[in-house]
A = this chain, B = another copy of it.
Amino acid sequence: ARPRVGYYYNSRSGNTLVARAIGKLRVKDIKSLAIVVRESASVYDAVVTMFTEDVGTLSVVDGEGYLVGIVSRKDLLKIAIGGGDVHKMPIGMVMTRMPNIVTITPDDTVYLAARRLIAHQIDALPVVRTYVMPNGEERLEVVGRLTKTNITRLFVELGDGEN
């Protein structure tokens, strides 16, 4: 149902410059702070954190602070409407687990982050750094989050001045 924006847009000049400008921006330049909960937290506590911090997605971490899952407002609404006991249900039971979490690194481009948000139909990506443990296992440290709100704010800043 959506008109082909690409076609519409590419009929105008300046698109190469726009693409180049967009390609220079890095995740670390516009990311937001990471908001995390422990996997032992209840669904209710996760919802409270979501409202207190006013975010739509939470990273879930283990006892050592490494990323083990992610949970969205949509996931929590599905659980809350289902009628289970949200005070007793741990967030670890309802989160999306590794290796199904889509992530991004601070040095990746915002363009790549935006592509992942669209391709995977999600609202936010945890921004991560990878650590290799002595046994060769990889662990992810959460150093931020990159959301559709960050992209929208950036779009406004790119448009400022002439509009």
Q: Which residues of A contact B (CB under 8 A)?
A: 1-3, 5-6, 8-10, 12, 14-25, 29-33, 44, 47, 50-51, 54, 56, 73-74, 76-78, 80-81, 86, 109-112, 114-115, 117-118, 121, 123, 148-149, 151-163
How far in angstroms is the closest Cβ of chain B from A43? Answer: 9
Q: Measured between alpha carbons, how far is A85 from B41 in the docked complex, in Å?
A: 25
Query: Are B77 and A86 within 8 A (Cβ)?
Result: no
Query: Are A18 and B158 within 8 A (Cβ)?
Result: yes
Interface of A is mostly: helix
Q: How many copies does the complex hold?
A: 2
Query: Are B29 and A3 within 8 A (Cβ)?
Result: yes
Contacts of A33 in B (CB 8 A): 1
